[in-house]
Structure 1
Amino acid sequence: MRTHFCGLVDEALIGQTVTLCGWADVARDLGGLCFIDLRDHEGIVQIVAEPDAATAGNAEVIAAAAAVGYEDCLRITGVVRARHAVNDKIRTGKVEVVATKIELLNKAEPLPFHAHENPGEDIRLKYRYLDLRTPAMQRKMRTRTRLVSALRHYLDARGFQDIETPILTKATPEGARDFLVPARMHPGEFYALPQSPQLFKQILMMAGFDRYYQIARCFRDEALRADRQLEFTQLDMEFAWVAERDVQDLTEDMIRHVFREVMDVELAAQFPRMTYAEAMRRYGSDKPDLRIALEFVDVAELVKGCEFKVFTDAADDADGRVVALRIPGGASLSRKQIDEYAAHAAKYGAKGVAYVKLDEAGAINSPIAKFFSEDAFKALLEAIGLQNGDIAFFGAGKYKTVSDFMGALRLKAGKDFNLVADGWAPLWVTDFPMFEWDEEEGRYVALHHPFTAPAVDSIEDLRANAKTAVSRGYDMVLNGNEIGGGSIRIHNSAMQSAVFELLGIGAEEAAGKFGFLLDALKYGAPPHGGIAFGIDRIAALMAGSESIRDVIAFPKTTTAQCLMTDAPSPIPDAQLAEVHVQVRPKA
């Protein structure tokens, strides 16, 4: 139907006849002279319908152009010529097409929103086909396509095998909730959609495939937010006969390669490394944004002698923490704004946030100053490095809770005070805790997943030091986003059973859920490890979007709905009966 794409018409085609297909982005009738901006996925080119200079004819073309409406679907034939008024804002801005034929392929009814407007997200998702048609979404989705292509080319060239793993698989007791699929041929039994291909890729290493990858669709029935979806895409990788640095060095080079190919950006020649403990101590996050220079100062020892019980209780608690965060220029915050910071911290577990302001003249404004002697308070401010015009926020309580809410304050302050440097700040976070204690369930849970190897060789050592055990896990972080997470895996059946036991998974349950894995580990399983990268998150970063919904063609809302198709939806009883399912009435 067409000879060229709209956005690729250039000076090399001057004098040639072209046939283009696209949508009318703009149509202007100037009374006998009409202009149409014709748009396809490659871009926009200007179409001109004007009287024929020799015959003063061309009335049919001019009439057709005058009748064109917004987003009408057109096919236009014409001759390319140089444009008198050059438009440097578009790739085709030096040329235009003088129309000799205009065909209306499909008339567009009035649209619910204009491509150059910024409607609410609900409207965009309901009419996703129109939203995806916009130049902004076209650019974002093409960025994603280039990312996946660059990843595939890199891995294919290095001997990785692209192997598909099952979508219908077995439910497991760890991680988020599984999506369940009733098995029609096995009444009362269910498949689960994979949260990741984790066990299958480990089995592939035991089967001798050595280097595996897959652009995998994964499913987790969990709460949605800007960086989470019920279904998502990850680059899944696994290596046999490797230690941590083998995985890290290759994948670090891979990420440098794709940023160079997709964005023409050179990332650091070597990504810095930081332990989990250091990241939490300095930044209150296991995915710190290093573009923000703000760091915590631990002040527990300096507040033990004060009369502020919140501080002293935390300072005397072996699992407690008292920390300060200095914000340069923060003394400009009003009391109302300080309360907004406290409310923000409360979302992450804070029961309150103390502060000290030092105005430009050096006067102190602080509700906690009265609890300190003059010398002790002076020593505290010196340790924090507080300068005239600064504010310092304080957090006190359990170590993890304080780290979480003060980490959130650090990010907010960085954005509010324009302290986020330009560019890209990648790093590796390593040496994660093996387990976390879940107070509600009264047991340990795996910080990464239950197949991550501990940094000890002895089962006895692991059992004796479960609370402080470190894993061989690692995450790649970029600008405060975890873009990849992985680990060296357990390759010994006895160690895997011991980890299950510490996680409260008994021998009978382990055999039922993971018996095939435990068996496979007995037959010469090699040391192996891997990593998974979030394609959606990387694409969003590359596209400059804060939400991964902007780089997913058909995402769900935060209430887990597809507004375009109205999914999820009820299923007829007859269809449910076929899969032996009966729905309980809503409470």
Structure 2
Amino acid sequence: MEKLKRSHMAGILRNEHIGKEVILAGWVQKRRDLGGLIFVDLRDKTGISQVVFDQEVSKEAFIIGETLGTEYVIVVKGKVYERFSKNLEMPTGEVEVFVEEVEVLNDARTPPIYIKDDDQVSENLRLKYRYLDLRKQNMQKNLKLRHDVTKLVRDFLDKENFIEVETPILTKPTPEGARDYIVPSRVNQGKFYALPQSPQLFKQLLMVSGTDRYFQIVKCFRDEDLRADRQPEFTQIDCEMSFVDEMDIMDINEKMMAHVVKGIKGLNITLPFPRMTYKEAMDRYGNDKPDTRFGLELINVTENLKTSDFKVFSSTIEKGGIIKAINVSGEADNFSRKDITNLEKHTKDYGAKGLAWIKVTEEGVNSPIAKFLSESEIQSVLDKTEGKTGDLLLFVADEPSVVHGALSNLRNYLGKELNLYNKDQCNFLWVTEFPLFERDKETGRLSAMHHPFTAPVDEDLLLLEKKPEDARARAYDLVLNGHEIGGGSIRIHTSEIQEKMFQVLGFTKKEAYKKFGFLLEAFQYGTPPHGGIAYGLDRLVMILAHEENIRQVIAFPKTQNATCLLTEAPTTIDDDQLSELHININSSEENS
């Protein structure tokens, strides 16, 4: 028999193929033996087609069909017919292929996970057998989506005169906010490289070099605690431009995101994107990456309750705390006492000590705290929150960081639970004027909120000397549906201001030059004003794919413990390799 070569993909067969001879190749999803007929669901990355083994069409093929098992790799040749019993839930459900020839390319053991999207197996098992997990239609769809997003970005930036430049993976350890992954040098005994947390310094050097418009889709590495939307190695869309200000960068990136969303979802995004200061975002939403697809904004009622007899409120205000509320409009009757207790548990997960509530009914207010509030206080709160009959008001009183953390997360939880938004909607938002610094609660030291190369707002330059914690940054984050997908800034481009920045951060001049001397020296040879942005490609694709876990859009991700269950990395290395690298491992650590 002549070797069969695939002519069509399984998932593309439709009515227009009826009567045509096709050759399909793929995996056996399942087999149903009805005696004289054997039905096989044949799967490839495009979908599933039903192929039929009929003794009257080919006895030889039928005999082979009887031996097929799940995940066998086969190639079949046959004619496409209209399906007698149609399955309209399948794209190919109106046709089927009657097999004339079949070749088994490989058999297969029974797989440890089902190859279907709703397999319900543990994530650890999925990651251990990732090559099987990736056979699922949803995972193949996510990989294709990632490819499409990447291609759209590259094509757009190419047309805008950006050039792609690769920067080093083995580089110098520099303090940029997270822990470095360290690589020992065999050639230079006792010295180490770091894997880049970002190409930040190199892209700035490219601006010094006159490259003008640079981009790169690049791996970055940060040794930090993981979560659903974070990985130790991740992919960044990195861009930098010379002779620009914030408006230039926002403008071109808005056009790029509109281009991506149009290409992926077919949606036309209105430009320009809304803009909001960091202070306004915190006041209205409690975080710096608000989901603006729905309301439930935070309302400050501190002034309305400052004379309250309710001790929780009054003592909080006396200590300098605040009280904020959200109005869950029209939902009072849908939340029982038990439901509200569950909401309180949710806020406690984010540091709140409790959750006060008021239901607005036709008879008045229903609340365990109503007896502690005067009529005028209740009316004042209703006026401030625009509370009306049927509304549920939820309050948290504490220091601002706790109030914002608890209510912003409760807001997002309610938005999802109450279906307050369309998941296909894409709400972009620029958040601007971030603080330049933030103070560590434990050490009291200042650190850069973004990174130490972010330029301060021009009128705040004098604050670097007098009151640095009040200085604002020329920084901007791009938010999509409650996720920060990109962040950037106008950079410092003079050695004088950069040295001042390091000084505020606690570096001596000697320390600054030891760690960043190559950058400070470069700035002395004529550096253009420049700025840029970096996107988390994985996170962007996760949102566009409607996934809640970033591992769903990465081919071979790590677990929350930064391990690869497939390859069992990280692992030990043998003594000869350790010796070559001049590394000794403490035996107690080795056995721990």
TM-score (norm 2): 0.94
C-alpha deviation, 1:300, in angstroms? 1.7
Question: Cα distance, 1:549 vs. partner?
Answer: 0.5
Change (3 A) 1:115 1:359: farther
1:494-509 to structure 2, matched below 5 A, reads 494-509=496-511
What is the letter of the counterpart of residue 193 of structure 1? L
Query: Residue type matched to 2:46 in 1?
Result: E
**Farther off after superposition, 358-367 or 299-308:** 358-367
| Offset of residue 303 of structure 1 | 1.8
Match of 2:25 among 21, 35, 38: 21
The DSSP-based 3-state class of the residue aligned with 1:467 is helix
- Where 1:180 maps in the other structure, the secondary structure is strand
* Pair 1:556 & 2:558 matched: yes
Amino acid at match of 2:389: N
User: Aligned letter for 1:101?
Assistant: E
Aligned to 2:204: 202
1: CA distance between counterparts of 2:94 and 2:358?
A: 59
Name structure 2 gaps, 5 residues minimum: none
Whether the 8 Å CA contact 1:332–1:389 is kept in 2: the answer is no
Task: Provide the alpha-carbon RMSD of the alignment.
Answer: 1.9
Which of 541, 546, 564 aligns to 1:539? It is: 541
Q: Which residue of 2 aligns with 1:527?
A: 529
Describe the SS at the equivalent of 2:478.
Answer: strand
- Give secondary structure in 1 for the equivalent of 2:462: helix
Q: Distance in 2 between matches of 1:19 and 1:261?
A: 31
Structure 1 pair 359–572 and aligned structure 2 pair: CA distance change class (3 A):
farther
The code of the aligned residue for 1:104 comes to: V
Question: Take 2:37 and 2:462, find their aligned partners in 1: how far apart are those partners?
Answer: 86
Is 2:38 aligned against 1:37?
Answer: no
Instruction: Give 1:14 deviation, angstroms.
Output: 4.1
| Inter-partner Cα distance in structure 2 for 1:567 and 1:90 | 39
Counterpart position of 2:244:
242
Q: Is the 8 A contact 1:276 1:432 kept in 2?
A: yes
Q: Is contact 1:356–1:393 with CA below 8 Å preserved after alignment?
A: yes
The aligned counterpart of 2:80 is 80
- CA offsets, 1:206-228, max 9 Å, x none? 10001111111011111111100
Cα distance, 1:110 vs. partner?
Answer: 1.3
What SS is found at the alignment partner of 2:108? coil
Q: Which amino acid aligns with 1:280?
A: M
Structure 1 residue 326 corresponds to structure 2 residue 327: yes
User: Over residues 49-91 of structure 1, what are the superposed CA-to-partner deviations in whole Å (9 max), with x where a residue is unaligned?
Assistant: 21336xxxx2211111122111111111222334344443333
Say if 2:143 and 2:553, in contact at 8 Å, map to a contact too: yes
Aligned partner of 1:578 in structure 2 is 580
State the aligned residue count: 581
- Residues 12, 388 of structure 1: alpha-carbon distance in 2 compared, 3 angstrom cutoff: closer
Which residue number in structure 1 is paired with residue 486 of structure 2?
Answer: 484
Q: Which residue of 1 aligns with 2:7?
A: 3
Residue 360 of structure 1, CA deviation: 5.4
Deviation per CA, 1:457-508, whole angstroms, max 9, x where unpaired? 6743332231211111001111101111111111111111111111112212
Q: CA separation of 1:397/1:463 partners in 2, compared to 1, >3 Å: closer, same or farther?
A: farther
Is residue 2:390 matched to residue 1:389? Answer: yes
Structure 1: gaps spanning 5 or more residues: none
Structure 1 residue 532: Cα displacement:
0.7
Residue 138, structure 1, aligned to residue 140, structure 2: yes
Report if aligned partners of 2:460, 2:471 keep a CA contact under 8 Å in 1: no
One-letter code of the match for 1:483?
Answer: I
Q: Structure 2 vs 1, CA of residues 12 and 134 (structure 1 numbering), >3 Å: closer, same or farther?
A: same
- Equivalent residue, structure 1, for 2:407: 406
> Shift in Å at residue 563 of structure 1?
1.1
- Go from structure 1 to structure 2 and tell me whether the alpha carbon gap of 1:530 and 1:27 turns closer, same or farther (over 3 Å shift): same
The amino acid of 1:388's aligned partner reads T
Change (3 A) 1:352 1:28: same
Q: Residues of 1 paired with 2:267 and 2:71: CA distance?
A: 35
Identity of aligned residues (%): 46
Secondary structure of 2:48 counterpart: strand
Correspondence list, 1:195-234, <5 A: 195-234=197-236
Q: 1:519 to 1:313 in 2, by over 3 A?
A: farther
The alpha-carbon distance between structure 1 residues 185 and 89, as it changes in their structure 2 partners (threshold 3 A), is same
2:38, 2:562 → 1: CA distance?
46
Q: Any idea what SS the aligned residue of 2:364 has?
A: coil
Q: What SS does the corresponding residue of 2:542 show, helix, strand or coil?
A: helix
2:522 and 2:572 map into 1 onto residues whose CA distance is 41
CA contact under 8 A between 1:287 and 1:477: conserved in structure 2? yes
